[in-house]
Amino acid sequence: MNVYVRELSSALARSGVECDVFTRAVSPRQPAVVAVEPGFRVHHVPAGPLVALPKEELPQLVEEFAEGVMLRMSGDLSYDAIHANYWLSGLAGHQLKHALDLPLVSTFHTLDRVKAESSPEEVSSDEPHRRAEAEAAIMACSEVVLASCSVEADQLADLYGADPARIRVVPPGVDHAFFAPGNRSQARRAVGLPTEGPLLAFVGRIQPLKGADVALRVVEALLAGHPDATLVVVGGPSGPYGPSHLAELHAHVELAGLAANVRFVDPQPHELLSTYYRAVDVCLVPSRSESFGLVALESAACGTPVVASAVGGLTTLVEDGLTGFLVEGHDIEAFAASAAVVIDDPTLAGFLSENAASHARHFTWAMAARLLRSTYEELAAERLVGCG
């Protein structure tokens, strides 16, 4: 989500739409306003203690945050629309919309009722029980609700009763200046990964929803035919189950004797992830739910085939048998077999790689900004501000 907000705001600014991003201050040393580039500013708004807090503690700060944002927005700055990202920002956006008489655009990134179907144990503790009701209220209040793909658009309508006429599909993009095909051997050396043998990657937050445990079992299954296979896990724990899930992964590696075949890498700066994508033969995306799947898109842009779960937005990003492979459920043997096909058949791997990179070129932040700019302009012209 941070990548989405940053890249989209930058693209919007370059297209002529001035963007002010308001986020909660997490340190007394943060400046009140940071000019990222012409037309794109980030405001650090105090709300609660000036430290980073677990996500589950943020709902109680929404009202204070909204009041702080309102003070900034009521000053010398002039706005035509509010764009809220995630349900907590949607709660603040709902308040701001009515206080300032501005249209509201909402992007949710993840949805409580979708998570409930795939990982109910996370929903019960990760968010307050009112999250789904809050999401529905925000959708009803929003003049426009953005979906990243057609699958998410259907989920918004089917699970929340969102008005299809208010839903706009605006796919995220990828920065092709960073995420592009390159030399695999050089990439492996650059990040200190084995220069020989099959190499697979899992990139993302370490939490049950993302399926890093599936990736471990996939490389374990591959070892019978590829004893030198290596999995690199790039990411850190997230959410209340993140630390315990990471501990479980390490314990599994130790008990299964996989220490020589699995490497854990801390979260990396976004622009450096491209080197990891280029270094590997296959990127595994075994998510239990996925509204879009930016990791799959970034991997494809680097020419690395993806083997992904056939869920959510991943079904719109991965063309089965053409740019990578989709696996129903979390069938470890099916994941391993698909990865092995790519590893064992250089001709197929090249075919998938070329198609993946070509397909990914259709996704740009500039295109997302153009679609969104037209939405903003339409709302500003109509000045239709309502709720429900």
Q: Give residue-wise pLDDT tens across range 205-262.
A: 999 999 999 999 999 999 999 999 999 999 999 888 899 999 999 999 999 999 999 9
**What is the pLDDT, as a whole number, of residue 56?**
85
Among residues 32, 8, 27, which one has the least CA distance to residue 19?
8
User: Tokens for 123?
Assistant: 């929903």
Residue 377 lies in a domain: yes
CA atoms within 13 A on the CB side of 211: 26
Which residue range is the domain that position 95 belongs to?
2-173+365-382
Predicted confidence at residue 122, as pLDDT, reads 56
- 196 and 286 co-located in one domain: yes
With beta carbons less than 8 A apart as the criterion, state whether 106 and 138 touch.
Answer: yes
Question: Of 156, 162, 159, which is closest to residue 141 (Cα–Cα)?
Answer: 162
How many structural domains are present in the chain? Answer: 2
Residues 88 and 161 in one domain: yes
- Any domain includes 240: yes
Tens digit of pLDDT for each residue in 78-108?
899 999 999 999 999 999 999 999 999 999 9
Angle between helical axes of 242-255 and 212-222 (0-180°, round to 10): 10
Same domain, 58 and 164: yes
Strands 199-203 and 167-169, sheet pairing? unpaired
**Mean pLDDT of all residues in 6-17:** 96
Residue 82 pairs in a beta bridge with 104
Output the domain CATH number for residue 157.
3.40.50.2000
Read off the DSSP letter of residue 165: G
Average pLDDT, the chain: 93
> Is pLDDT of 196 > 80?
yes
Q: Residue 330: what pLDDT?
A: 86
Helix (H, G, I), strand (E, B) or coil at 145: strand
Between vectors from CA 172 to CA 336 and to CA 61, what angle results, nearest 5°? 100
Q: How many residues does the chain have?
A: 388
Identify whether 190 is part of a domain: yes
Q: State whether 29 and 138 are in the same domain.
A: yes
Residue 388 lies in a domain: no
Q: Is the pLDDT of residue 385 over 80?
A: no
